[in-house]
Amino acid sequence: MRRGRIQEAAFTFLMVSSLALVTATLVGIVAVVLIKGGPALSVDMITETPTAGYYLGGGGGILNAIVGSLWLALSATALAFVVSIAVATYLQREFSTPRLANAVRTVLELLWGVPSIVYGVICFVIMVFVGLGTSLLAGIVALTLLEVPIMTRVMDESLSSVPPELKVSAHVLGSNRAETSVRVVWRQAAPGLVSAVLLAFGRGIGDAASILFTAGFTDFIPRSVLDSAAALPTMIFFLSTSPLPEVRERAYAAAFVLLALVLVISVASRLLTHKLSTYVVK
Amino acid sequence: MSTPQIMARGLDVRIGKHHILKDVAVDVPPKKITVIMGPSGCGKTTLLKCFNRLIDLTENVKVKGKVIVDGQDIFAPGVDVIAVRKKMGLLSQRPYPLPMSIYNNVAYGLRIHGTRGHDTLDAKVKHYLEAVGLWEEVKHRLREPATALSIGQQQRLCLARGLAVEPEVILCDEPTSALDPVAAKKVEELLVKLKADYTIVLVTHVLRQAKKLADQVNFIYLGEIVEQGPADELFANPKETLTKEYFSGEIGY
Amino acid sequence: MVCAFLALVVLILVFKSSYLLGQRSLADLLLTTDWNPPRGRFGLLPIIAGSVYVTGLAMVVAVPVSVLASTYIAEYMRGAAQHVMKSFVDVLAGIPSVVYGMCAIIVLVPLVRDVVAPAFGVNSTGFCVLSAAAVLAVMVFPIIISVCVDIFRAVPQETREASLAVGATKWETTKLVVFRAALPGVFSAVLLGLGRAFGETIAVAMLVGNLPRMPASLFDSAATLPSLIASTYGEMMSIPLYDSAMMLLALILILIVLAFNYLAGLIKKRFERLQLGESA
């Protein structure tokens, strides 16, 4: 007779139920989005912008949001990439002192946890100060601020996990610090770097709070960086609670597109990481 | 020779694609020190893990054959693994104290097997710490975390912890490899002292240690038993070429 | 240079946010319960209370479920299954909060409004503390779980073997040894989740009703710090001192969240030092 059998059985039941609950929520969310969003999707939906009377149940689609989201997220990720890779490389031991690196890492860790709405608020303040209205530019800046800590942190981890012997081997063969960084270290850390970028991109494209005040919302596709821009998350945010079912349909469609994008990025990240790992030294 | 306490017969272990143990047969006589020796990576630890069924925890493992302890095959279906493990004490290569105080490390085994009562526990903890020669060194700091001790002390603590559940056999997996010579000597002396009450199986790749401690020797190479027998005979007159090469240092550590 | 940039960002964060405070005393703001900006009333207490209720309730549910699930994933699942589960959790973590909010509006709000509240004899719109807390709990699961699973896996296998070798059962080993060793890490995971929950804006804003009044029950609408900031978009500029009030909310929010995350980081570092110390 095993000791504590009852306790073990009880806890095992609890553990499995908890796990089941968590799994169920994932399945549930995907299911809801599919069920509600699927029927709402049509070629028109994706290729048209809202027409007049849209919010009163008129025609049109969500193209404005799709384009806006892509503009926002791609630009922000690109900008964040430039900053992050510079900071992450800088943090490696050969470029900075341990004290400085520690300080920067602490700051990064703190920034990582900042709620995105705060970034939105700050950019809003700056916008007002500078005299701009809501714009694509402001949204991009806010998103970049959001993405930088996330991206830098993952990049830092990958770069730090490159075995130092690798760098030494490169130096012994005659390359300087910069060459070593780019050709050897980045190559070894490539899977981690790629996943950092994709992770940040996924986060950026799904975030609503930071672009709420900054990018604004509009029915049109932004034509310049100073125009307001709609995005999928903000569209969902505004339209989910509309009293009109046709308008809510747009939200569901937007959710479908957004979720699909995020899932695709997630899978792509895994595949790419795997593929890039062929030359990685373990 | 009296009936062996442990008999392994036809023990065959595969982990994934690797064939770790090939048809191994070993006899462990009671209340003696049986040494299993050989170069690194030859299956010594795996063999030891078969004796207390810790081998079950390894992923992708397939075990064939029998290990008969006191007349019972511990790999037979329906065997109470907990009881088997209680019979076998384990001393690992590096000390792994449990994340608790010195006192609680020793008391852990006692508590889970039902010993209650403050005084009983106190007395037993003291007893086993004395048995490993640690009592004087730690009696005033029993509540400190076990990690505060030196490595040598931690290893003896792990021994005390194992002894507390009153095993019949002590399995030692290269117990002094992480210790400095002074600490190692203390542990070796302990093993000799404990031999009077416990059967000891010692895995080592240190020739000096084997020669000093062994009553019975099993030389294992690449998963196969090459030669086995009483220590004096084997060390004086190794019969197999491999054994001779190992002793002369030609084949590796 | 680059670090200066980061420091600048931090400074802007803290500094720019603290506009208000010009006209009212801090105590006055924090303790009065009347939030009525058009009338110049800025009592923050109901909003802070709302944050505490919603976050607190969410954590009460999220922590046990997450810890239990992590224990199962780390200790009772092997190889491929474990890997699949971890991927699941990662996917869950990546779902945007708007989507959570939207799904909750579709499923949870009607449920609360038409089934749960009446069962308690209460009238509710469904946009209330309960709904917001439920969704928040779900959003926090993956954060706590992924950190906890890593923490459990970091406990050396030999420690488990040491426990099993004296005849402990798997459950005893998990409960008395593994969990014990992982405790500081689990703590820090919970704090991390707490920080995230406190700062979650969108999903909560979609579900909590955004009514800055002290909630009297789970079924009342309320407001949290971030949700109020988000929902007053557009109204800010027209009312005097309103924008400053928003800044103050943001400041309080960020200070609290930073405090949680900082604590979590400290505990995690101490835990790592402990682990390394043990196997030295």
Give the integer Cα–Cα distance in Å for A258 and A261.
Answer: 5
C254 and chain B: CB distance < 8 Å anywhere? no
SS3 state of residue C237: helix
Q: Which residues contact A18 (CB under 8 A, 6 or more apart)?
A: C64, C65, C66, C68, C69, C72
Residue C21 resides in a domain? no
C94/A241 Cβ within 8 A: no
C13/A114 Cβ within 8 A: yes
pLDDT at residue C3, as a whole number: 59
C157 and chain B: CB distance < 8 Å anywhere? yes
Judge residue A68's burial from the number of C-beta atoms within 10 Å of its C-beta, 0-12 exposed, 13-18 middle, 19 or more buried: buried
Residue A94 predicted with pLDDT over 90: no
Give the integer Cα–Cα distance in Å for C52 and C197.
Answer: 10
Give the integer Cα–Cα distance in Å for C277 and B148.
Answer: 9
A2/B112 Cβ within 8 A: no
A62 and chain C: CB distance < 8 Å anywhere? no
pLDDT at residue C278, as a whole number: 43
Give the integer Cα–Cα distance in Å for C256 and C252.
Answer: 6
Which range, of A210-219, B13-22, C126-135, averages the lowest pLDDT? A210-219
Q: Are C195 and C263 in contact, with CB atoms under 8 Å apart?
A: no
Neighbours of chain C (3+ CB pairs under 8 A): A, B
User: Are A30 and A88 in the same domain?
Assistant: no
SS3 state of residue C209: strand
Q: Are A119 and A212 in contact, with CB atoms under 8 Å apart?
A: no
Residue A151 predicted with pLDDT over 70: yes
Rounded average pLDDT over B174-201: 90
A5 and chain B: CB distance < 8 Å anywhere? no
User: Are A34 and A58 in the same domain?
Assistant: no
Q: What are phi and psi of A80, to 5 degrees?
A: -60, -35
CB-CB neighbors (< 8 A) of B147 in chain C: 274, 277-278
pLDDT at residue C9, as a whole number: 63
Chain C contacts in chain A segment 115-144 (CB below 8 A): 115-118, 121-122, 125-126
pLDDT at residue B199, as a whole number: 92
Count of domains for chain A: 2
User: Are A182 and A215 in the same domain?
Assistant: yes
- Give the nearest chain A residue to C85 (CA atoms): A23
Q: Are B16 and B197 in contact, with CB atoms under 8 Å apart?
A: no
Q: Residue A25 belongs to what domain range?
A: 1-40
Give the integer Cα–Cα distance in Å for B252 and C5.
Answer: 57
User: Are A180 and A53 in the same domain?
Assistant: yes
User: Are A116 and A20 in the same domain?
Assistant: no
Q: Are C84 and C162 in contact, with CB atoms under 8 Å apart?
A: no
Q: With the C-alpha atoms ordered A200, A205, A206, A211, is the resulting torsion angle positive or negative? A: positive
**How is chain B classified by DSSP, letter by letter?**
-PPPSEEEEEEEEEETTEEEEEEEEEEE-TTSEEEEE-STTSSHHHHHHHHTTGGGGSTTEEEEEEEEETTEETTSTT--HHHHHHHEEEE-SS----SSBHHHHHHHHHHHTT---HHHHHHHHHHHHHHTT-HHHHTT-TTSBGGGS-HHHHHHHHHHHHHTT--SEEEEESTTTTS-HHHHHHHHHHHHHHTTTSEEEEEE--HHHHHHH-SEEEEEETTEEEEEEEHHHHHH---SHHHHHHHTT-S--
Count of domains for chain C: 1
Q: Are C246 and C236 in contact, with CB atoms under 8 Å apart?
A: yes
C76 and chain B: CB distance < 8 Å anywhere? no
pLDDT at residue A173, as a whole number: 78
Chain A contacts in chain B segment 110-129 (CB below 8 A): 112, 114
Which range, of A54-63, A185-194, C90-99, averages the lowest pLDDT? A54-63
Rounded average pLDDT over A173-190: 76
User: Are A135 and A267 in the same domain?
Assistant: yes
Show the domains of chain B with their CATH numbers: 6-247 (3.40.50.300)
Express each pLDDT in A21-50 by its tens digit: 999 998 999 898 888 888 877 777 777 666
CB-CB neighbors (< 8 A) of C197 in chain A: none
Neighbouring-strand partners of residue B13: B21, B63
pLDDT at residue C35, as a whole number: 64
Q: Are C212 and C47 in contact, with CB atoms under 8 Å apart?
A: yes
User: Are A112 and A230 in the same domain?
Assistant: yes
What is the value of ipTM here, to two decimals? 0.86
User: Are A158 and A255 in the same domain?
Assistant: yes
C172 and chain B: CB distance < 8 Å anywhere? yes
Express each pLDDT in B30-56 by its tens digit: 999 999 988 877 788 889 999 988 888
pLDDT at residue C280, as a whole number: 34
pLDDT band at B147 (very low <50, low <70, confident <90, very high): confident
A208 and chain C: CB distance < 8 Å anywhere? yes
User: Are A52 and A139 in the same domain?
Assistant: yes
A3/B112 Cβ within 8 A: yes
Q: Across chain C, what does the average pLDDT equal?
A: 81
CATH number at A129 reads: 1.10.3720.10
CATH number at C64 reads: 1.10.3720.10
User: Are A31 and A49 in the same domain?
Assistant: no
Residue C15 resides in a domain? no
Residue C227 resides in a domain? yes
Which range, of B174-178, C223-227, C271-275, averages the lowest pLDDT? C271-275
Residue A178 predicted with pLDDT over 80: no
pLDDT at residue C36, as a whole number: 64
Judge residue B22's burial from the number of C-beta atoms within 10 Å of its C-beta, 0-12 exposed, 13-18 middle, 19 or more buried: middle
CB-CB neighbors (< 8 A) of B114 in chain A: 3
Amino acid type, B160 = A
Give the integer Cα–Cα distance in Å for A221 and A67.
Answer: 7
pTM of the model: 0.83
User: Are A2 and A129 in the same domain?
Assistant: no
pLDDT at residue B33, as a whole number: 92
User: Are A139 and A244 in the same domain?
Assistant: yes
Residue C159 resides in a domain? yes
Q: Are C6 and A104 in contact, with CB atoms under 8 Å apart?
A: yes
C278 and chain B: CB distance < 8 Å anywhere? yes
Q: Residue C184 belongs to what domain range?
A: 42-274
Residue C105 resides in a domain? yes
Q: Are A184 and A165 in contact, with CB atoms under 8 Å apart?
A: no
Give the integer Cα–Cα distance in Å for C274 and A164.
Answer: 25
